[in-house]
Every structure is written in C-alpha cells, then in structure tokens.
Amino acid sequence: MQLDMRLVMAFSLVMRSGSLTQAEAISGVSKATLSRQLQVLEEELGVTLFNRRARGMSPTEAARAFHTHCEQILADVSGRLEVAREQLQELGSGIGGELSIKADSEFSTTFAAHVTKLFMARHPNVKLNLDVADYPGCAKAEEIDGYICAELPDIPDLVGKLLGQISCGLYASPAYLKQKGTPVTPMDLTCHDSIVIRSTSGNKDTLMLYSQGGSQPYLPKANVTTNDHWIMKTFCIDGFGIALLPDFFVQPELSQQLLVPVLPEWKPQPRRIYCAYQKQRFAGRKLSDLITLMADCIKDIDTFSGYVGRSSSGSS
C-alpha cells in the first residue's frame, strides 16, 4: 500500500498545530477538508490516530509514533527537493550538467582542447564530452551541443557563430626542400609532391593564392590525400611533400625547425572558424558561455598548440 503524501502532510500539520482550528489558520485548508483527510488516513492505516470528543480531539499513542516517522519522511523529502531545486538552477544557469562538443581535427588538441579546459576550470560541475569529427562537416546537430568547424554543415535550423578567422600557409620539411628544391612561384608547385586535404563540401573551385603581386591558382600535385590535418602534418614532417596548413597548427614544428615556410608571401584568403549549434540549444548558459570564451580566445590561437610532431625517420 502506498500512502498519499497529501494525507501524511495533513496529519503532520494537525499534529504540529495541536488542533484542526489552528491547522486551518496556518494552512488555509478548511477544518472539514483536514478532518476528511485524517479519516481517510486512519482507514488506510487501519488504526485510530485521534480520540474525538465534543471539545476537540487528542492524538493516540499510534498517532505519536506515526508522527515521528512522518516528520523524518517529510524532512527527507524537503531535503531532496532542495537538492533537486539547486541542480535545476545549476542546469538552467549553465554551470552543471553535460556538454557535448565536436571539433574538426585541426582544432581538436589545439583550440578546442585548450578552450574547453579553461571552461571546465570555471565550471567544474560540467561533464564534458569532446570528440573529433570523423571528417569535416560530419557532425550531426541533434547529437551534440556545438561543432567547431571551418565549413558549416548543411543542416536545417543550424546556426553558425563566427568565432574569427585563421590564416594558412605552405610548409615543408627542410629534408624535403633539400632533396627536391624550393619552389619560387606557385606554378612550381605543379612539379612538387604535395599532401592535400580531401574536400567533403563538393566545392570544386580552384583555391587561389594571393600576394602583393597579384594572385595565382593553387595547383598541387597530390601524392598523399587525407581527411585529417594531423596526418597531413605528419607526412609533411616526414618529407613526403608540401602541405597547405593553418599557420597556428604548425607553430610548435616551426619553433623546432621540423617545418619551414614555403612561398611565405603567397597565402590563400583567411578561413573562417565557426561554432555551429542548433538555435534552441543556445538558450542554455553552458553553450553560450563556451562560445563567448571561444570568441575571446581565438585571437591567441597561435599559442595554444603544445604538441610537437616528430619525424619518424629522425631527419629534420
């Protein structure tokens, strides 16, 4: 048998108040209603809780014993409700609960990992799930809160928050340039090996390189293609060719002279970096705070990469 908590609360109220009249004054519930609730409770328990007389009623021994249990139960319920209220407030304010973020590989261990670590230091009650996208544009909006990317997926009701722009450049290992020579103009790239990112957007427009002297098409001779920027950088370090990589992504390797710029005066247009999300999810403070932090940190993206690639051949 499961007791109606309303009956238990009415009983406890009358016991604390000392009379139906006082209980009515405190709660605003009529004496007739309280009396009926007590009678129903007695019927469900199968015991008499009050001795009723013309001048009022007094609790029985059973009532006093039951009241002790009721007060403990109500105190426990009140405490649990308070915990639930606090958790709901945390969820509503965005400082608790789960946050699921996906990032393209070029932003994963560099930008995304750095910013989410800062975010979790500020909000330690947040449980983070940070995944690398299988390939650019693959994220399913309904499965995540936010997607850090350079190309927005073609998904209805998806909002792309522009975080900033990143520059890219051509890079190669000193060993490759020593063996194959250094390009002098962009057209020389047609005679060099290249590591190329595989496009998933279906855009077949030729990428252009720009300098103060004008523009020329980027026409690499791809001997390695991949959908992952870390693979690009690894093959580039190991001397398999020239790669067009985000400048921030190769800062550690430049400092260790594992990579060097190629045609540094020739660059494509800066790429945009977004955080994509479903519009309704931005109402939660967790996501809006994280996106604000991303936008604040994007200007320092060159300083975030702490992982230095190594040549598998040992050459540099």
pLDDT per residue as tens digits for the range 285-308: 788 889 999 999 998 888 776 655
The DSSP secondary-structure symbol of 58 reads E
Amino acid letter for position 212: Q
Confidence at residue 300, expressed as pLDDT on a 0 to 100 scale: 87
pLDDT per residue as tens digits for the range 225-283: 998 889 999 999 999 999 999 999 999 999 999 999 999 999 999 999 999 987 766 55
Distance CA 223, CA 236 (A): 11
Tokens of 119: 């975010």
Domain 5-93 class, CATH top level: mainly alpha
> In CATH, which superfamily holds the domain spanning 97-165+273-303?
Periplasmic binding protein-like II (3.40.190.10)
Contact 236, 173 (CB under 8 A): yes
The CA-atom distances, in angstroms, between 224 and each of 7, 190, 227 are 75, 14, 10
Q: If pLDDT is split at 50, 70 and 90, which confidence band does 99 have? A: confident
Please determine whether the domains at 97-165+273-303 and 168-269 fall in the same fold group of CATH: yes
Residue pointed to by tokens 């997607």: 147
Contact 137, 201 (CB under 8 A): yes
Distance CA 75, CA 9 (A): 11
Pick from 217, 231, 225: nearest CA to 194: 225
Q: Write down the domain spans for the chain.
A: 5-93, 97-165+273-303, 168-269
Distance CA 24, CA 95 (A): 41
| Summary mean pLDDT of the chain | 87
Distance CA 54, CA 35 (A): 14
Contact 8, 71 (CB under 8 A): no
Distance CA 105, CA 307 (A): 13
Confidence at residue 194, expressed as pLDDT on a 0 to 100 scale: 97
The CA-atom distances, in angstroms, between 6 and each of 3, 28, 133, 168 are 9, 15, 52, 67
Tokens of 183: 């390009």
Residue 246 φ/ψ region, left for φ over 0, alpha for ψ in the -120 to 50 degree band, beta for the rest:
beta
Contact 97, 91 (CB under 8 A): yes
Mean pLDDT of 75-97: 72
Overall fold of domain 168-269: D-Maltodextrin-Binding Protein; domain 2 (3.40.190)
Contact 244, 170 (CB under 8 A): yes
Q: How does strand 193-197 pair with strand 168-172? A: unpaired
Residue 206, class by beta-carbon neighbours within 10 Å (0-12 exposed, 13-18 middle, 19+ buried)? exposed
Amino acid letter for position 126: V
**Against a cut of 0.75, is the pTM above it?**
no
Distance CA 41, CA 36 (A): 9
